[in-house]
Amino acid sequence: MNNWPGWQQWYEIAEAPVLRQGDILRGLLVYWFPQTLPVLANDPPDGHVAVDAAWDRGTWIIMSASCDVERPSRAYAQVVIGRVLPATRDTLHQQNDDELRTRLEVLRQGHVSVFLLAPHPTFEPAFPLSFVDWKTHLTMPAYYIRNAVGVRPRLRLNSPFRESFGNWVGGNFQRVGIANDLQMPRFRPQIFPEHILRAEPEE
């Protein structure tokens, strides 16, 4: 995959603290509230609530629109970010390389709520073939992210890949689901990636 010449068109190197949709933030420490967040009947008397927030350090990508995240923090205080993971057999839960290639083809064609990101082998450290996991996204303070990234070089999606990513983000936010008991019954117990590929119309 690293020998594929198209990866060079995917990214530019950004250094300024100005944020954009599609900025890839590596080694970012993030926090989120636990599912056991206490529900209080009344406001705490001292105005403070102690919460054991979960945390993790990893690679994230800015999902919020560029026109929002480039504004001052007082105008757009929270930034939506999505988790980025390397596209490996382990992260995609595949048993062998053939299954991995099939899964990657399904991702490449955009059939699931996962966005595939091209590698950048010459960036330091090298950025592997990766994917954005829609189901793992959270908000972080814009001022915090700007301080965390500083002026360190980072990958930024180029056009038209940035717009494609933005459309993917918007499509997931605007998804309309049907209550399970109102859907049509299953025609078969389960489907596999190869079923999706065979269902595509022939060119």
Mean pLDDT in consecutive groups of 10 residues from the start of the chain, 203 residues: 74 90 96 88 84 92 94 87 95 90 86 87 93 92 92 92 94 80 75 68 57
**Amino acid 203: pLDDT:** 53
Phi, psi of 26 (to 5 degrees): -100, 140
**Amino acid 191: pLDDT:** 72
Q: Which residues touch 47 (CB under 8 Å, ≥6 apart)?
A: none
**Amino acid 38: pLDDT:** 83
Give this prediction's pTM. 0.84
Contact 82, 134 (CB under 8 A): yes
**Amino acid 77: pLDDT:** 92
Helix, strand or coil, per DSSP, at residue 85: strand
Domain positions in the chain are 14-33+50-174+188-199
Number of H helices, E strands in the chain: 5, 7
The CATH classification number of 14-33+50-174+188-199 equals 2.30.30.110
Contact 24, 84 (CB under 8 A): yes
**Amino acid 192: pLDDT:** 73
Q: Report pLDDT digits (tens) over 141-163.
A: 999 999 998 878 999 999 999 99
**Amino acid 85: pLDDT:** 96
